Amino acid sequence: MDILYQDEALLVVNKPAGLSTLPDGYNPSLPHVKSLLEQQAGRLWIVHRLDKETSGVLLLARSAEAHRALNTQFEQHQVSKTYHALVTGNPEWQEQTINLPLRPNGDRSHRTVIDHDAGKPALTQLKVLECFSHYCLVEAAPETGRTHQIRVHLSSVGLYIVGDKLYADRNRDIPAELASQPLNDVGLIKIPTVGMGLHARSLEITHPISRQRLKFEAAYPDWLEDVLQLLRTTSQTG
């Protein structure tokens, strides 16, 4: 797990996909971010969470005081978060605002659902960064922090995150022309087993002690970088 920044108040890491932020409710013995980092960094406080299959910037506090200050920033929407998502589909728009209320555990699969009556407000700003033959890379900036917010909001406009086993449209498979490409072990065919195409790209906060505004950015995981390069090559030659 790459450390992006650390001082007496903060620890910021690039979380890999497949690793939970906190103990797994069904199997507490599985490794998780907090337990692994505390072995070297001492006691830590989780400030926010990333889904198990989401990679990218994760912030932890190194004191109770820093934890309280950072929690306040999140609660008062003083934190800027951006995610990059590789999705199936090509939208006709370049930018879109999704403002749909969400309710967690809304169906038998324990998915978050759009619920105009009982859901809590949720707002996500979307921007298309790159388009390929059958995919696009989208930047998502959530202004609220609902469970699975980006995954649900993207699917609400017909965009499904590659490798998302919970929300992806199972009728949208790997296109034949890409499936026939000679792929390496982390190529398109293997995406669901490597991770989900959702990456917490950057996080901007105010330092709880110095009050300096800080921005942290996490590099893509190798498999996602490989897939993007393949898509760029395929789009140019197709």
Tens of pLDDT, residues 165-184: 888 754 444 444 444 444 33
Query: What residues make up the domain containing 177?
Result: 2-237
User: Cα 185 to chain center, whole Å?
Assistant: 22
Catalytic residue at 222? no
How many structural domains does the chain have?
1
Q: Look at residue 194 in the predicted model and tell me its pLDDT.
A: 60
Distance in angstroms (rounded) separating the CA atoms of residues 102 and 89: 23
Q: Look at residue 190 in the predicted model and tell me its pLDDT.
A: 38
Distance in angstroms (rounded) separating the CA atoms of residues 196 and 209: 35
Q: What is the pTM of this model?
A: 0.87
The CATH number for 176's domain is 3.30.2350.10
Please identify which of the residues 51, 117, 164, 185 carries the catalytic annotation. 51
Cβ(48)–Cβ(56) below 8 Å: no
Task: Render pLDDT for 81-130 as a digit per residue (tens, 0 to 9).
Answer: 999 999 988 899 999 999 999 999 888 888 999 999 999 999 999 999 99
Mean pLDDT of the chain: 87
